[in-house]
Structure formats: structure tokens, C-alpha cells
Amino acid sequence: MSDVELRGVEKTFTDGKGGTTRVLHGVDIVAPSGQFVVLLGPSGCGKSTSLRIIAGLEQATAGEVLIDGRRVNDVPAAKRHIAMVFQNYALYPHLSVLENIVFGLRVRKVPKAEREKRATEAAEKVGLVPYLDRRPSQLSGGQRQRAALARALVSDAKVVLMDEPLSNLDAKLRQQMRIELRSLQKELGLTVLYVTHDQVEAMTMADHVVTMRDGHVAQAASPEELYVNPVDADVAAFIGSPP
């Protein structure tokens, strides 16, 4: 189990022509160990940038990212135990489920026997062992989600970052996947940071909701607290709280 904290994170992008855009203005987030934390807010408010900074795909311009109390830049990537799950799970269509799961290990030159052992262990945790030889196109939506989680688990992730993973699915499948994802997250004791612009998703899935707006956190609270005590009219309108 691992926790994640952002303290005063700022991000300014430069366009190469001397122009700059400041997109994060001091973001504070606490994701306690084993919790399902949702970053919620309208398009363009800085959710993906925040997640990418936690993943180490972008560097913060100022502020700190802490993993278990240690500054992320002081922890070697292999010891951060963080994995990112991309939209639609980004499984390689031409590779088998097994090959998809071990892909990152292959890149890191982990020997074949160990790769397969770890892949099988990860597949066992998510109930995918019978499907290891299939292609992603031969899996159901739920199985694809589990393959993406197995790919995170195989690298020993304790923190899983997800950026709108369900946004391209139809409503019925989305609902089913939310339930399955939540139960796997609890069972595996993962800390999940989950980005969405969908209030229903946030309110039904989260232990803790971080509502963002214009590059900062407007309110961070449990779904119940957010609904009953929105910090202002904007949050209330976004959440759909009664007036």
C-alpha cells in the first residue's frame, strides 16, 4: 500500500517560441493508501496534467510530489510502484494477453522465465489465467480492464493512475466496469487516482473526490460531504447538489 501527496504543484508549459501557459496554480492532493481517489472537473482544468506529473511523464514547475512521504524525484522509477492505465486500456492488439502483461518487463530486460512467472501471478490476481493466449480483441470489456490492471500489477504497482479509462464505452458497459474496477481495487488494496469529468462516476466510485477547476483544487471531500456541503455555487452546480 502506498499514499500519494501533491503539495503546491504548479505547471507552466512553454511553446518553444517564448510563450508560456500556466495550467496548474498550486495543486494540493492527498490520496491515502488503499483509497479510490477521483480527480473530477471540466475539460481543460488540469486533471490529466496532474496525473502525468504523478506518473513522472511531466515535471512540475514548482511544488512537490510525495510517494509514501518521499519526494518522487528522489525515488528510482522501479521503486515508486506507480503504474498508469491509459484510455481504452491501450492494449497492443497484435500481442497476446500474456505478451501485453509482460511488455514493460521485456522493455526493462527482465529474463523470460521471471517475466512469465510474474505475469501468471498477476493474471491469477485478476482471474485472467485462462485467457493469457488470447488477443485483446477476443476479450470482453471487463477482461480487457483486468488485463490492463494485470499489466500494472506485474510491475508491482501499489498506486494505479487512470485517465478516463471508461470514457469511450457505452453506458451499460461503463456501469459494469465501474463496479468491477471498484471491487478489484478493494480486493487488491490498491491506491487508485482516477481522472474523470463525469460527476456520476466520481460520486458513485470515489472514497474521496478532488474537484478541480482552472488549474487548482476547488474542494476535496468524500462524495457525501461534497454533495451536502459544496464549497460554492460552482461546485454545487457541477456536482448537481440541490440548491
User: What is the smallest separation between the CB atom of 14 and ligand ADP, expressed in angstroms?
Assistant: 8
174 CB contacts (<8 Å, ≥6 apart)? 166, 201
User: What is the smallest separation between the CB atom of 44 and Mg ion, expressed in angstroms?
Assistant: 8
- In the list 48, 100, 155, 199, the residue contacting Mg ion (rule: CB under 5 A) is 48
What does 40 interact with, of ligand ADP, Mg ion, none (CB < 5 to 8 A by kind)?
none
User: What is the smallest separation between the CB atom of 47 and ligand ADP, expressed in angstroms?
Assistant: 3
Contact status: 50 vs Mg ion (CB under 5 A)? no
Q: Which stretch binds Mg ion (CB under 5 A): 9-17, 41-49, 154-162, 198-206?
A: 41-49
User: What is the smallest separation between the CB atom of 12 and Mg ion, expressed in angstroms?
Assistant: 18
User: What is the smallest separation between the CB atom of 51 and ligand ADP, expressed in angstroms?
Assistant: 8
Residues 182 to 201: which contact Mg ion by CB under 5 A?
Answer: none
Contact status: 13 vs ligand ADP (CB under 6 A)? yes
> DSSP for the chain?
---EEEEEEEEEEE-SSS-EEEEEEEEEEEE-TT-EEEEE--TTSSHHHHHHHHHTSS--SEEEEEETTEEGGGS-GGGT-EEEE-GGGG--TTS-HHHHHHHHHHHTT--HHHHHHHHHHHHHHHT-GGGTTS-GGGS-HHHHHHHHHHHHHTTT-SEEEEESTTTTS-HHHHHHHHHHHHHHHHHHT-EEEEEES-HHHHHHH-SEEEEEETTEEEEEE-HHHHHHS-SSHHHHHHHT---
Q: Which stretch binds ligand ADP (CB under 6 A): 45-53, 115-123, 217-225, 230-238?
A: 45-53
What does 46 interact with, of ligand ADP, Mg ion, none (CB < 5 to 8 A by kind)?
ligand ADP
User: What is the smallest separation between the CB atom of 24 and ligand ADP, expressed in angstroms?
Assistant: 8
- In the list 31, 37, 40, 45, the residue contacting ligand ADP (rule: CB under 6 A) is 45
What does 165 interact with, of Mg ion, ligand ADP, none (CB < 5 to 8 A by kind)?
none
165 CB contacts (<8 Å, ≥6 apart)? 85, 86, 87, 88, 89, 145, 148, 181, 194
Number of residues that bind ligand ADP (CB under 6 A): 11
- Are 35 and 5 in contact by the 8 Å Cβ rule? The answer is no
Contact status: 46 vs ligand ADP (CB under 6 A)? yes
Positions in the binding site for Mg ion (CB under 5 A):
48
Residues near ligand ADP (CB under 6 A):
13, 21, 23, 41, 43-49
